[in-house]
Amino acid sequence: MAIFGLFDNNNFYASCEKLFAPRLKDRPVVVLSNNDGCVVARSAEAKALGIPMGEPWFKLQEQARQHGIVAFSSNYELYADLSDRVVQVLRQFSPNLEVYSIDESFLSLDGFGHIDLEEYGRQIRERVLQWVGLPGCVGIGPSKTLAKLANHCAKKSLAGSDGVCNLLALSAGELDELFGRIEVGEVWGVGRKIDARLREMGIASVRDLRDADPAMIRTRFSVVLERTVRELNGVSCLSLEEVAPDKQQIMCSRSFGEPVYELDDLLDAVATYMSRAAEKLRGQQGEATALMVFLQTNPFKPDEPQYHPSMTVPLPDPTADTRVLVQWAQRVATRLYRRGYAYKKAGVMLSCIQPAGVSQGSLFDSPSSTDAKAGTLMALMDGINQKWGRGAIRLAAERRHHPWQMRRDRMSPRYTTSWADLPSVLAK
């Protein structure tokens, strides 16, 4: 029988911020979206105050003063590094692991059935807390869907103890009672629309969905939800994905910190975004055969002129060369640009991605060392940027200072990834 564990960090972004600020231990903390706009993460204390996800920060000013709420800009570099550290700890508990998201990882516990799995989950949780400093919960079940549901039970203290829930340890009667108390919308993959449709059919709890006819669910919904029903019955249909599949599309887009009016500023942004997308493309050893550029004004200001153009173009040859991709992206952006609009956002997307070096050449192509030299140059650039920090070496099309760069006025130091951000101690 398959056995899966799911480790999930509690309030991950907010916990990362609290880790380096002990003074915030019992304070409500929220993390804001790009340009410090809306709440995207909340500590347990902030949730207890009823602060909803997605709430604009400017609407919370009075509540923040009243309750001492501390807000941070999103510190993606810090969160990614701490996530990697958590994964390194988890790999000591299972040779087979799937990093599902920045704060969640599935572990294969096949062959661990002879030990006390709840105690094993407790050891995982305690070691991550001790070595990395971040709290989390562990859910264990015979399928990935049940492991995720067990993790929900551990977080909400619906079953298990000490932040660990092992569904394999519960009897059939205990599972019936537990699943009957959990709403169907808590099941992994059941979104708002599916939840509403299921309730119209009288399926309101996890138990109702588990006991539904899989064939009927497939007919009324999809094979995906049918698979979910089987997983709720303990039949493992989803295997562990130890290696993330290559992306078929790579997008990079950001909202501007200030409205952009001039073409030069827009081209700078497009070049910066495309350089990042090209770096990700080379990271999966791929080449793109098409690219798309889009521009967008602020839809939340209907009194201003609106303009949301986009254009996709095929590339003459598959490539991962930043120089070529930036050149094409800027050509497209120049065609899309119209003077007089206040642009709020821009983005690029690479598509029709294929493995590098597999494209069919033309009958009339002559052997050339150009491609090999380009590959060597890009590898050298990536290596320097990885060692010395992103942007250490870049194209001339990317300025050093970006007036359009998104606002992160409340960002904490990058304690674990930047020497310059380490605290200084002066001894006398």
pLDDT digits (tens, 9 = 90+) for 385-407: 888 877 788 888 888 777 777 77
The pLDDT assigned to 246 comes to 72
Spell out the SS3 assignment of 402-422. CCCCCCCCCCCCCCCCCHHHC
What global pTM score does this model have? 0.80
Q: Which long-range contacts (CB under 8 A, 24 or more apart) does 80-85 make?
A: 81/416, 81/417, 82/16, 82/19, 82/132, 82/134, 82/416, 83/12, 85/131, 85/132, 85/416
312-326 per-position pLDDT tens digit: 999 998 999 999 999
For the chain, percent of residues with pLDDT exceeding 90: 66
Q: CA-to-CA distance for 92 and 89, rounded, in angstroms?
A: 6
64-94 per-position pLDDT tens digit: 999 999 999 999 889 999 999 999 999 999 9
Given a cut of 80, whether residue 244 has pLDDT beyond it is no
Mean pLDDT, residues 231-238 taken together: 92
The CA-atom distances, in angstroms, between 133 and each of 16, 82, 136, 376 are 9, 9, 10, 40
The pLDDT assigned to 79 comes to 93
Q: CA-to-CA distance for 297 and 275, rounded, in angstroms?
A: 23
Query: For residue 351, with 0-12 CB atoms within 10 Å meaning exposed, 13-18 middle and 19 or more buried, which class applies?
Result: middle
Alpha-helical segments (H) within 182-262: 192-200, 206-210, 214-220, 223-232
96-118 per-position pLDDT tens digit: 999 999 999 999 999 887 899 99
The pLDDT assigned to 324 comes to 93
The CA-atom distances, in angstroms, between 327 and each of 272, 333, 348 are 12, 10, 13
Mean pLDDT, residues 367-393 taken together: 79
The pLDDT assigned to 363 comes to 58
The pLDDT assigned to 242 comes to 66
Q: What is the DSSP string of 252-267?
A: EEEEEEEEE-SHHHHH
The pLDDT assigned to 357 comes to 73
Catalogue all structural domains in the chain, each as residue range(s) with its CATH number: 1-170 (3.30.70.270), 171-244 (1.10.150.20), 250-360+369-388 (3.30.1490.100)
The pLDDT assigned to 66 comes to 92
The pLDDT assigned to 204 comes to 93
Q: Which long-range contacts (CB under 8 A, 24 or more apart) does 394-401 make?
A: 394/275, 395/271, 395/275, 395/322, 395/323, 395/326, 397/267, 397/268, 397/271, 397/326, 397/330, 398/268, 398/271, 398/272, 398/275, 399/268
DSSP state of 59: G
The pLDDT assigned to 403 comes to 75
The pLDDT assigned to 385 comes to 86
Helix (H, G, I), strand (E, B) or coil at 277: helix
331-368 per-position pLDDT tens digit: 999 999 999 999 999 999 999 898 887 666 655 555 55
Rg over CA atoms, the chain: 25
194-211 per-position pLDDT tens digit: 999 999 999 999 999 999
154-187 per-position pLDDT tens digit: 999 888 888 999 999 999 999 999 999 999 999 9
The strand pair at 29-32 and 70-73 is best described as: parallel
Given a cut of 70, whether residue 138 has pLDDT beyond it is yes
Region of poorest pLDDT, from 46-55, 183-192, 227-236, 372-381? 372-381
The CA-atom distances, in angstroms, between 375 and each of 285, 356, 412 are 11, 10, 37
